[in-house]
Structure 1
Amino acid sequence: MVIDIHAHIYTDDMAPKAIASVKRRMGVRVPGLGTASDLKDSMAKAGVERSIILPLAPLPKHVRPANDFFLSAADVDGLVPFGAIHPFQGDLEEELDRLFASGVRGVKAVPFLQGFYPDDPRCDRLYEAVAERGMVLLLHAGKVPEDLPEFFGTPDRFARMAKRHPDLVVVLAHLGGWEMWSSVREYLIPAEENVYFDTAYISPSLTMEEACDLIRDIGADRVLFGTDYPWTDQAEEIEFVEGMDLSAREKRLILSENAKKILFR
């Protein structure tokens, strides 16, 4: 069994525009089409049983429409939605309750896209509300393949956030900080036990050996498999993990068991 904790989809109309925009701005390879049907085809080819689909909401006004689409895209056979959330939206608790009542067990926030620092005390309302409901918070961590003036979500800020909120279960994407992995080792490996890491989009920047070394330092029991579909190929990302010099048990933890532990309790 394989669970992909980190995948993205768009409406059939928006997917070609989103992918064209990323290709133009970042100049990266995009193997997927970004639609629900293409993701299901990818899952069947790669042997992925469940993909957690993650919405994006740059502004508070985008949260509810994004969540409506992702709830409609939920598939009992494989597509499992997280919700979008913005730390500064007025109806934060109400939207979390709506998502939870619909069976959603996690939400996604993006510091650089939404313009917040993870250790800003104004975000405590979000963290407390997510923890009170027993939900999971997944956060983009580190840089992106684009020249931006600031990335907001840095490992030191996440470490301070986690220390203040030990009851919050948080998954930090891209092994805790894309292209900030020395800071991940410095600040996040000693962080609270409630901090997990996903492997989304690490293969374009880390060799298999480098990624394996970082996962060993973190501990395989805190790492979840993620691909960042459509920006990587799910089958290739499974091969990337399977090829690492890890034990069979460590690979099972990463590919499915850790995700089952925190999401499907």
Structure 2
Amino acid sequence: MPYRNHSVKIDFHTHIYPDHLALQTVSAVRQRAGVDAHTEGTLEGLKRSMATAGIDLSVVAAVATKPKQVESIQRWLRAIRQPGIEALAAMHPADPLNSEQMKMLKGEGFRGFKLHPDYQDFFVDDSRIYPLYEAVAAEGMFILFHAGIDRGLPYPVHATPKRLAAVNEAIPQLCMVIAHLGGEEAYEETSSHLLGRDVYLDTSFVLRKMPGTFRERFLREHPSDRLLFASDSPWTDQGEELRFLLQLPYLTDGEKERICYANAARLLELEKRRCS
């Protein structure tokens, strides 16, 4: 039976870059990672992609690779937020924000942060980072973690499923969103360490690429209220990713609605903002 729920669709994990850097950045990633880009990596390119795909809201996840970049990236993130475009706040573990700065960001409407342990050169389960996690949790915010390999980056992998599970074990109050369904090519490890945990998994980049047996197992066994539709645009096509998810026969309409809207809306506190 075809999917008939026409609710709002949210893409929880996308990337864009300032206009003057987009061409250079997209070209560099394409060369390093060997992946095609499906937009030019700009805000306007993302909006065109959303209109074509039938996606109502995209969440932009930017990474500060150096502490000195945080302030300028955060200014840009403030500027791009608009109806249909949300963003996660920037932070670097080498110079973590204090609680007052986090409160200010939350007051501006930011609900979470993006961390990329490979780019930011830290192991996700390094106990020296735990005070940062505890501070984020204390503010009622979440962290979207890159997980697994990032094509073209050197080893070691700083955020494996096992390491991410250790963080959840140590700081269960932290709301964790784990990208790429636990990590590209880390499917066995995700099965052993993350499935069924009280963490969110997003579908970015790997949804159509992963083996079908793992895909069905993950989407059936992980709680449907802890799954998030995400594309990783521009590194996949938003429309192709969404259509693929919506045609999966083993997901109910209710599960698809949770994955494509309700879970993200809860994390972003969209209903709370609408009523305030």
Please indicate, yes or no, whether the TM-score normalized by the shorter chain is above 0.5: yes
Pairing 1:34–2:34 present: no
Pairing 1:251–2:256 present: yes
Pairing 1:13–2:40 present: no
Pairing 1:177–2:162 present: no
Equivalents in 1 of 2:268, 2:13: separation in Å?
13
Give the deviation of 1:34 after TM superposition.
0.8
Give the deviation of 1:90 after TM superposition.
4.9
Equivalents in 2 of 1:94, 1:112: separation in Å?
27
Equivalents in 1 of 2:212, 2:161: separation in Å?
22
Equivalents in 2 of 1:31, 1:100: separation in Å?
31
Equivalents in 2 of 1:90, 1:50: separation in Å?
28
Match in the other structure for 1:49:
56
Question: For 1:20, what is the secondary structure of its paired residue?
Answer: helix
Match in the other structure for 1:226:
230
Question: For 1:13, what is the secondary structure of its paired residue?
Answer: helix
Give the deviation of 1:212 after TM superposition.
2.6
Deviating more after overlay: 201-210 vs 52-61: 201-210
Does the 8 Å contact 2:10/2:264 carry over to 1?
A: yes
Match in the other structure for 1:71:
78
The equivalent position to 1:127 in structure 2, one of 115, 130, 133, is: 133
Equivalents in 2 of 1:44, 1:146: separation in Å?
31
Give the deviation of 1:147 after TM superposition.
5.2
Equivalents in 2 of 1:208, 1:32: separation in Å?
27
Does the 8 Å contact 1:64/1:95 carry over to 2?
A: no
Question: For 1:259, what is the secondary structure of its paired residue?
Answer: helix
Give the deviation of 1:124 after TM superposition.
1.1
Give the deviation of 1:149 after TM superposition.
1.9
Per the alignment, do residues 168 and 90 of structure 1 end up closer, same or farther by CA in structure 2, a change over 3 Å counting? closer
Per the alignment, do residues 230 and 92 of structure 1 end up closer, same or farther by CA in structure 2, a change over 3 Å counting? farther
Give the deviation of 1:219 after TM superposition.
2.6
Does the 8 Å contact 1:200/1:225 carry over to 2?
A: yes
Match in the other structure for 1:98:
104
Equivalents in 2 of 1:85, 1:148: separation in Å?
22
Match in the other structure for 1:162:
168
Give the deviation of 1:213 after TM superposition.
2.4
Question: For 2:19, what is the secondary structure of its paired residue?
Answer: coil
Equivalents in 2 of 1:133, 1:10: separation in Å?
28
Equivalents in 2 of 1:123, 1:142: separation in Å?
18
Does the 8 Å contact 1:86/1:92 carry over to 2?
A: no
Pairing 1:205–2:232 present: no
Aligned structure 1 segments of 4 or more residues deviating by more than 6 angstroms: none
Match in the other structure for 2:267:
262
Pairing 1:109–2:115 present: yes
Return the TM-score normalized by structure 1.
0.94
Per the alignment, do residues 89 and 65 of structure 1 end up closer, same or farther by CA in structure 2, a change over 3 Å counting? same
Letter in 1 for 2:92: H
Match in the other structure for 2:87:
81
Pairing 1:196–2:200 present: yes
Deviating more after overlay: 160-169 vs 145-154: 145-154
| Unmatched tracts of structure 2, length 5 or more | 1-7
Letter in 2 for 1:256: Y
Match in the other structure for 1:60:
67
Per the alignment, do residues 219 and 162 of structure 1 end up closer, same or farther by CA in structure 2, a change over 3 Å counting? same
Q: Write out per-residue CA displacement over residues 120-162 of structure 1, whole angstroms, 9 at most, x where no aligned residue.
A: 1111121111111111110001112225121100011111101
Give the deviation of 1:209 after TM superposition.
5.3
Does the 8 Å contact 1:142/1:155 carry over to 2?
A: yes
Deviating more after overlay: 149-158 vs 139-148: 139-148
Q: Write out per-residue CA displacement over residues 158-179 of structure 1, whole angstroms, 9 at most, x where no aligned residue.
A: 1110111111111000012221
Return the TM-score normalized by structure 2.
0.90
Give the deviation of 1:51 after TM superposition.
0.5
